[in-house]
Structure 1
Amino acid sequence: MRLNSWGIGVVAASTFMFNQTLAESLPKPIEMLAQQGLTIVDTFEAPGGLVGYAARFQGQAIALYLTPDGEHVLIGNLLNLAGEDIAAEPLYQAVIGPEQERAWNLMANAKLVQDGDVNAPRVIYTVTDPNCPYCHRFREAAQPWIDAGLVQLRHLMVGIIREESLTQAAAIMGAPDPTAALEQHLARLNRGGIEATPRFVRIGNDVIRDNHRIIRELGISATPVVYYRDNNNHVQVIRGMPQPNMLEAVFGPRP
């Protein structure tokens, strides 16, 4: 669902008023942390008479726990008997989730290179530089799932690693068939990759410019960056090549 500008304004105003009201009623220890740069987003239930606060600091989600006397605050993980962090879900819902969903929507509305069956059930967005070796390794790791029709990659092409990355990314996006152009590039990696045909570069330049705006907005300065949905339908992000033990979390059960 897309919100019109009026709807977005209402949501933004409501969020502002909620955070303003929360800030005005903060206990002293929490207010002290807010004055040091933490953004207090929401409260959540916590055991033992504690009051949980979901906060953000320098892009990271942080859990705070106000003690029953209202004079002390604990910062960090609070585990239950199963060894689970009780703040994981509240932090996702209040801080991490909205930011990750925003990133997912930015990717979904960008011009991308389709890689794999468009009807494959698992969609994965990846920020890809034509000359990024870890991007190539990620693509190779995905091959069994793509061949089985289980996964589709959608590449947000950027050019940030080498001087020629920019023109090659533009040439791929400006080609009549970007999917075929990316395949050609991958097949020719040992020979320098795809030729940056000037006509295609001119066509693709605007797309790459838009893609660079997206990665700046998301604070991305290296590749690959992988966005996927976990078994709870939560958007997760991995910066860099996923470790081997993470591949099934990203792609699903091995075919």
Structure 2
Amino acid sequence: MGRLRSLLFDAAFYGGSVPIVCAAPLAALVGTGPLNAVVRTWLRWHRFCARHIMGIHTRIEGRQLAGPALYVAKHQSFFETFELTLLLDHPVVVMKRELADVPVWGRAAQAYGLIVVDREASGAALKRLIREARLARAAGRPVLIFAEGTRVAPGEAPPLRAGFAGLYKALDLPAVPIALDSARVWPRHGPKRPGTVTIRFADPIAPGRPRAEAEALAYAGINALEPAALPGSADTAPRSSPPSSER
């Protein structure tokens, strides 16, 4: 049944994505408003297919900030790249270069405001990342980065890439760690299955903290749902569950 659901999801989502993705470059020629509308349509289509075909729902714990912030998230599956972009309402997302090379969609994605970064970021690439993120801050948009650099399996907690520390210092914004457990229902390999994905917004990290302290707080925050992966997990686990809502 799980494999059949996955096949139906792929057929519906990717089939429905074709006209939406093809419309994005045309919308970009008209202006940011129409392009944003196309992007939100795609994000909502993904949520609809995940919920009604796969039976995947989202439980939100904690709260996002009202103003601009740097969101640093765990990355376990394809699911959260769509869901977090929808939840955060028009964020600038730091993405790997390979996605920008996708024909048609890649150019529209950059017009939307996504920041392209190389996996092995050089000094010049990091400067470009910071420059574009500052433009997002000036426009009042939140910035979202998957600071581990790639998808990881449940229980894995690799060190943060340098991009988070650079953005945290340069943007002078509160940083909000986001923990999630999407790989339980949306594994990197194998069929997807029904269930609830928890997305937990941790307490914000105030701007201006020393790099080591900010990185330690961000690391603990994004791995809060993976306590077995953390050294001294009893000290880093939250003492109580934050407020939650189902979506």
User: TM-score when scaled to structure 1?
Assistant: 0.26
- Higher-Rg structure is 1
Report 1 or 2 for greater relative contact order, CA contacts < 8 Å, sequence distance ≥ 6: 2
Structure having the larger proportion of residues in strand: 1
